[in-house]
Structure 1
Amino acid sequence: MTDSDLDVAPEETPEDTAQEAAGEATEEPTSGEEAEQSEATAAPSRVDQLEQEGDIAADYLEELLDIADLDGDLDIDVDGDRAAVSIVGGDLSHLVGDKGKVLDALQELTRLAVYRETGERSRLMLDVAGYRAQRRVELEALAEETVAQVKADGSPVSLKPMSPFERKVVHDAVAAAGLTSESEGVEPRRFVVVLPE
């Protein structure tokens, strides 16, 4: 029987091993590595874009506070899938207005300022003096009470008209409790209906 009759791998020589090592060092990157490299050099990530929105909004709001001669500090954050900017300090209640109407208008103006700079619509959330944070707590409690009522009665419950921010908080809280809800009506009289299972 000859060597050609057997499937025997040829012995590796030191030269072969050296060539393999050199080949590994100069090997082309795998598709995963290429993806990582292209991401690093590609457009900014979503978090970077949201941080940029926050910076643009903060600049706009700083100018506005200066013009109005108001004291306030700005906090910038990324909250889930949107930039979040808060104005804190001093007496800022007039920037909130009745039921947050001035705050809603100020938020829309700030979103327009971001759009002017980036060319993209912004979902930025603005808070002044903790108004939205407090309102969120109140709405989550309302949603819990409403869910309990709907589960007990088995019939839908309609809530009073709310802003888009308020409706979203309620929808999220209702979903977290295992029920569904929907918005009905036309702005500014749009409201949430919590539905039974």
Structure 2
Amino acid sequence: MIDLDAYAGQNWTIVPVSRPTRLRPPVITAGPHHVPGDVAEVDLTPAAELDVPYPSNQLWQLTLTGVVFCDVQGTSQSAWRYETVSFTPHFTPALEWAASWMGARSGGRNWLFELEQWAPHVTTATNFNRNVANNSGHGVDAWRPAPFRTETDAFGVQRQQLFAGVHADVVVRDTDAIIHRLAYHVTLVGRLTLHDVPPIT
């Protein structure tokens, strides 16, 4: 795994997602397909000592785009080099903007993003091959969210699908071929969650 942390550029947008009225499914009282009916939305009431308005049920669509430096170079003229790279675009300002727009205060805590849906995409942006290209090649074979984080938020609720970045499987072939930069476009739908800052040890 190669961690990437230098960016040629980063962009974000975040917009609220309206919820359509959900139809109540038919209630089946017996058999293997028992359906107990619609489940009410759960709204969290902030603990009095936190004094923080908490928009627990509002969904947001967060879009992250940009270019990250990769610099993975080939090692052979006859075989592919396979590497998995990991990067986490800086999305905290988007969450802070959304919270501020609603009038929610963090109280010195951190905003994180719990996902319901995700659609990342990663591709090569800049490639280079010095001198003669001997069976040269480059590409991105696959991409996916990094393993989600699980943390308990400031209200004692365990959050299990916290966004933690993107993994991409890159390939390059030829000893003087290099993938300089990757371009990414990540669409996420989820909720803002508020977390205490870990103590410095």
More strand by share: 2
> Shorter chain as normaliser: what TM range?
under 0.3
Output the TM-score relative to the length of structure 1.
0.23
Output the TM-score relative to the length of structure 2.
0.22
* Larger RCO (CA within 8 A; separation ≥ 6): 2
More helix by share: 1
State the structure with more CA Rg.
1
